[in-house]
Amino acid sequence: ETGVTQTPRHLVMGMTNKKSLKCEQHLGHNAMYWYKQSAKKPLELMFVYSLEERVENNSVPSRFSPECPNSSHLFLHLHTLQPEDSALYLCASSQEGRASYGYTFGSGTRLTVV
Amino acid sequence: AQTVTQSQPEMSVQEAETVTLSCTYDTSESDYYLFWYKQPPSRQMILVIRQEAYKQQNATENRFSVNFQKAAKSFSLKISDSQLGDAAMYFCAYRSTNYGQNFVFGPGTRLSVLP
């Protein structure tokens, strides 16, 4: 049991589809993150939510839309994606104010855009 | 801004041997945390070990230990008695103690363990 659960584990979608990725944590953390991990590239921070408010959006295209309805859940809504958006999307959570704790990650959603 | 560098994209080690993964970082802060994460083929990033910058003693966790050289801004990971299950991507990460500062990850080192 990781503490951070991501669904689905795999997703194949066409460029005109709309889908959502889900992340759930029951660790009592107050911050959640979306990362993109592409082959041969460093981890890319996409979105940060702290206390359910979005505090950072690293110039992510608008075809990615995050939603954080409460401190335990985080979604990433996808629409009209491009093939280059194919990647592993990782969710993480942490306790802001406790830098020593580190991040707890989920197992990721492997997204393929066709 | 802080940066983290891992100069070894790939490494290999014989089973039961010892291997050291390198990590250097750049920061102007004096207090921070450093981490090593492991990402096996199952994809989940798992915390291996952490080091507090204000502690001179190197952290150890069973077969994993670090060599923390604060002045040199170096944070290497030593894996002793390597096992097949140690094969994974290893990421070095920096975290400021300032509130709201996110992790800074290195590009990763892929470790293969040879039987």
pLDDT tens over chain A, length 114 residues: 459 999 999 999 998 889 999 999 999 999 999 999 998 788 999 999 987 788 777 789 999 999 999 989 999 999 999 999 999 999 999 987 777 778 999 999 999 999
Query: Are A106 and B44 in contact (CB < 8 Å)?
Result: yes
Check residue A97 and give its pLDDT: 72
Whether residue B21 contacts residue B89, with contact meaning beta carbons closer than 8 Å, is answered with: no
For residue B66, count other CB atoms closer than 10 A to its CB.
Answer: 25
Tell me which of A61-65, A106-110, B47-51, B96-100 is least confident.
Answer: B96-100
Rounded Cα distance between A105 and A39, Å, is 18
- Number of A/B CB contacts below 8 angstroms equals 52
Check residue A2 and give its pLDDT: 57
User: Which has the closest alpha carbon to B35: B87, B100, B108?
Assistant: B108
Rounded Cα distance between A32 and A67, Å, is 11
pLDDT at B47 over 90: yes
Check residue A64 and give its pLDDT: 96
pLDDT at B7 over 80: yes
pLDDT at B101 over 90: no
Helices (H) and strands (E) in chain A, counts: 0, 11
C-alpha dihedral, B86 to A29 to A25 to A45, nearest 10°: -70
Q: What average pLDDT does chain B have?
A: 94
Cβ-based contacts of B99 with chain A (< 8 Å): 96-97
pLDDT at B72 over 70: yes
Query: Are A102 and B50 in contact (CB < 8 Å)?
Result: yes
Instruction: Answer whether A27 touches B (CB < 8 Å).
Output: no
Tokens standing for residue A102: 């580190």
Nearest to B95 among A48, A99, A107 (CB): A99
Instruction: Answer whether B27 touches A (CB < 8 Å).
Output: no
Instruction: Answer whether A95 touches B (CB < 8 Å).
Output: no
Give me the residues of B, 33-72, that contact A with CB < 8 A.
Answer: 33, 35, 37, 42-47, 50, 52
Whether residue A107 contacts residue A10, with contact meaning beta carbons closer than 8 Å, is answered with: no
Strands (E), B1-115: 3-5, 10-14, 19-21, 24-26, 32-39, 46-52, 60-61, 64-69, 74-79, 88-96, 104-105, 109-114
Check residue A55 and give its pLDDT: 77
**Amino acid occupying residue A83:** P
pLDDT at B100 over 80: no
Rounded Cα distance between A66 and A22, Å, is 10
Instruction: Answer whether A106 touches B (CB < 8 Å).
Output: yes
